[in-house]
Structure 1
Amino acid sequence: MSLSSGNQLRRDPLLGYQVVIAEGREDRPQQWKPSIPPPSAMRCPFCGGHEDATPHERLALPADSSRSTDQMPWEVRVLPNIYPSLSPDFSDEVPTHQDPFYQVETASGVQEVIVESPRHVTSFSQLPEANAILTFQAYQQRLNTMRADGRCRYVQLFKNNGPAAGASLEHSHSQLMATRIVPPIVQHELDASEAYFRKHDRSYWSDLIERELADGSRIVHADENLVAFCPFASRMPFELCILPRSGQADFGGANSTLLEQLALLVRSLLVRMEKALNFPAYNYLIHTLPFDTFAKDHYHWHVEVLPRVTVRAGFEWGTGLYVNPLSPERAAQILRNSV
């Protein structure tokens, strides 16, 4: 794809949000390169040996003796979140506030913390490969447990790493939130994917992979099973999307080989990103099919990696636009070279 020089207004081809690619702004004094402080393991509740500081786990995955030389009783623990945003009350009582203008209902759901290692590491990139794999296995197991439970419609798996990304503890961990609603952005993806499929008789996600591979300028990694690239309308510098090349809608159904490859790819990409950006705060998240939705022909589960290196300011809040000071083509080139 031939792109003109200068600032550009790009539109996401699925969701329609618009991004100003303003590369001249990267010449301003840089605030992209935070340095990470040395880790402090002083009475961290997530460290091995401090299990008394947390609730009893809902899942504990032991070490694989063939991979681990530093054997501990557990390698990944899943705990209830003791400061939940969602209420564990799933009662079917009608809300008392019945105003058609101001609608209120109970924010019910399940909230869990996935502790990724008993050792005090501060990023997914620092995990041994075995722990990265176990973490993604825990994601899938807990998602499928929530499906079998039947009270929720959707599970959001995500990671906040660093204070700027919303983390309150530095020990590397991620989270699960299961809700009784399908979140608006996921519903938007589903609706737009279905509309594209009805119009073109093809999956948007398959076409996206095909076009990105053909162009190549935004590709960071591609193998027989997974593709990672900086999206055409990246909302922030170094944003990444990871997609399975096979048309899989449900992350809960990914086979063990693909799950292992995905875990190691996410780890590898974060190593590259942290090398390029000197350990930025970041989020990653997994979008997957809601439990009560049958959209297997036109939807793909996917992982989004979002480095928190810029801030939405007044223009962005006022207009709904995003401003990205680095083109995804340049970001992908930097990440490809950060090995």
Structure 2
Amino acid sequence: MTLTFKTTDTTAVFLNPFLNFERSEVTCQLRWDPLTGRSGRLAHFVGFKPAAADFSGLIETSGKNCPFCPDNVLALTPKFLPDQIPEGRLQQGESVLFPNLLPYDVHSALAVLCRQHYRSLSDFQPRLFVDAFTNCRSYLDRVIADPAEIYGLVTWNYMPAAGSSQVHPHFQVYATKAPGNFLDRLLSASQSYRSETGRCYWSDYVQEEIRRDERFIHQARHSVWLTDFVSLSVLSDVIAIFPGKQTFFDLDASILEETAQTLSAVLDWLGRQGVYSLNMAWLPARKGEEHHWLQLRISPRLYLAPHVWCTDTPSLVSQYQESFMIRSPEEVAGELKAFLRSHPGA
């Protein structure tokens, strides 16, 4: 099994009404993920930038009765059973963690990130992430009896374009035996690679990405940051890979501090590009599954045409499960790398 970044270019030809019906050619590129074979399409929307969306009215109205704001969070959110978490809720800095009223599994919680009802992506200080991640890890530590059997998942749906029903920033955290199709496919393919080659795919992958320097963004002491060759997002996913780490429990305080610094800088850059919404997820293995390395995946989300609330999940994505990208991961990586070099926190 070899690590191959496979692409195929195709060209569509038509008579262009914006050029007096002259012949036009537009190139699209098909890509295949080197580990799983998952395919995606890069459609070149020349000069694309996210169209502005006005959320000012939504932010104002949603803040009036927000259950996650400081005046309400202890009165309007549920508590854990005393035999589960005697305190009822977990608090760390500004983060407050409590049971999810709409649970995803037996152990399912929400972790509010901050007291402020709304923050732009450029306004998330590293300390907020350190405290929220620490809070989530404390919860998982209490509810996961055997980390070799259970996955501890932490996700973030930020703003409505990412599927959030609340403006106030909050994480979802849950313990489960079912890691979800995407993560399950990564784990299975990683195991197959180890069985066939005797090597860890993620070690080979990181080395190859650094050597190519096409999607490589930043190397910190405990993590490597890059864009994904076949992104889930139309604007290109940013991924942090943690060499030799499998679970959320493998991250000590110094690693969380470092991760929060880089994450805050990445979000700052995204905000400056006009991004206003994202999904984020930790992709762990279970304890002992050394064929996989822990990852943090950031997927920008947006309305392709905000004036008609056109989402970025057409049938190609939602039913065919085929990614499409309108900015190349290589272009995004180059711009983000330059930004992080001059960012004081990265």
TM-score by length of 1: 0.79
Corresponding residue number in structure 1 for 2:12: none
Match of 1:55 among 71, 78, 88: 78
Amino acid at match of 1:53: L
Q: CA offsets per residue over residues 235-272 of structure 1, 9 Å max, x none?
A: 3213111111x311122121211111112222221111
27, 30, 35: which one aligns with 1:14: 35
CA contact (8 A) 1:109 1:180 kept: no
TM-superposed CA distance for 1:281, in Å, is 1.2
- TM-aligned CA deviation for residue 123 of structure 1: 5.0
Letter in 2 for 1:60: L
Alpha-carbon displacement from aligned partner over 1:165-223 (angstroms, at most 9, x marks no partner): 11111111111132243423222211111111122221111111111111222122222
Mapped contact 2:92–2:134 kept (Cα < 8 A) = no
Secondary structure of 1:187's counterpart equals: helix
> Measured at CA, do residues 171 and 312 of structure 1 come closer, stay the same or move farther in structure 2, by a change above 3 Å?
closer
Query: Does the 8 Å CA contact 2:112/2:170 hold for their aligned counterparts?
Result: yes
1:29-68 map, 5 Å: 32-37=51-56, 39-40=59-60, 41-50=63-72, 51-56=74-79, 58-63=88-93
1:295 aligns with 2:293: no
Instruction: Report the Cα offset of residue 18 of structure 1.
Output: 0.5
Correspondences of 1:1-339 after superposition (within 5 Å): 6-23=27-44, 25-26=45-46, 32-37=51-56, 39-40=59-60, 41-50=63-72, 51-56=74-79, 58-63=88-93, 75-84=94-103, 86=104, 108-123=105-120, 125-148=122-145, 153-236=150-233, 237-244=235-242, 246-276=243-273, 278-290=274-286, 294-296=288-290, 298-309=291-302, 311-317=312-318, 319-338=320-339
2:275/2:301 contact within 8 Å kept: no
Ranges in structure 2 where 5+ consecutive residues have no aligned partner: 10-26, 81-87, 305-311
- Kindly indicate whether the alpha-carbon contact (under 8 Å) linking 2:6 and 2:33 is maintained by their aligned counterparts in 1: no
State the 4+ residue runs in structure 1 displaced beyond 6 angstroms: 1-5
CA separation of 1:154 and 1:47: change in aligned 2, threshold 3 A? same
How does the TM-score come out when normalised to structure 2?
A: 0.77
Q: CA, structure 1 residues 32+301, in 2 after alignment: closer, same or farther (shift >3 Å)?
A: farther
CA-to-aligned-CA distance 1:278-335 (integer Å, 9 cap, x gap):
23210000011236xx312x11010110111352323445644222111101111232
- Contact map agreement 2:152 2:248 (CA 8 A) in 1: no
Aligned alpha-carbon RMSD (Å): 2.8
Alignment CA distance shift 1:53-1:300 (3 Å): same
1:32–1:280 CA contact under 8 A, matched in 2: no
The structure in which a higher percent of residues are strand is: 2
The answer for unaligned runs of 5 or more in structure 1 is 64-74, 87-107
The answer to whether the 8 A contact 2:193-2:199 is kept is: yes
- AA aligned to 2:163 is G
Q: Specify whether residues 320 and 80 from structure 1 end up closer, same or farther in structure 2 by C-alpha distance, changes over 3 A only.
A: closer
The alignment of Structure 1 onto Structure 2 pairs a total of residues equal to 299
Aligned to 2:14: none
Change (3 A) 1:316 1:111: closer
Secondary structure of 2:285's counterpart equals coil
Q: Are the aligned partners of 2:317 and 2:323 in contact in 1 as well (CA < 8 Å)? A: yes
Residue pair 1:35, 1:280 contacting (<8 A) in 2 also = no
Deviation at 1:12, TM superposition (A): 0.6
Q: Name the CA distance, whole Å, in 2 between partners of 1:80 and 1:149.
A: 21
SS of alignment partner, residue 165 of structure 2: coil
Q: Secondary structure at the match of 1:148?
A: coil
For residues 283 and 97 of structure 2, what CA distance do their matches in structure 1 show? 20
CA separation of 1:62 and 1:255: change in aligned 2, threshold 3 A: closer
* Residue 85 of structure 2: aligned partner: none
More off after superposition, 34-43 vs 46-55: 34-43
Say which SS state the counterpart of residue 117 (structure 2) adopts.
Answer: coil
C-alpha separation in 2, matches of 1:168 and 1:315? 24
Conservation of the 8 A alpha-carbon contact between 1:35 and 1:279:
no
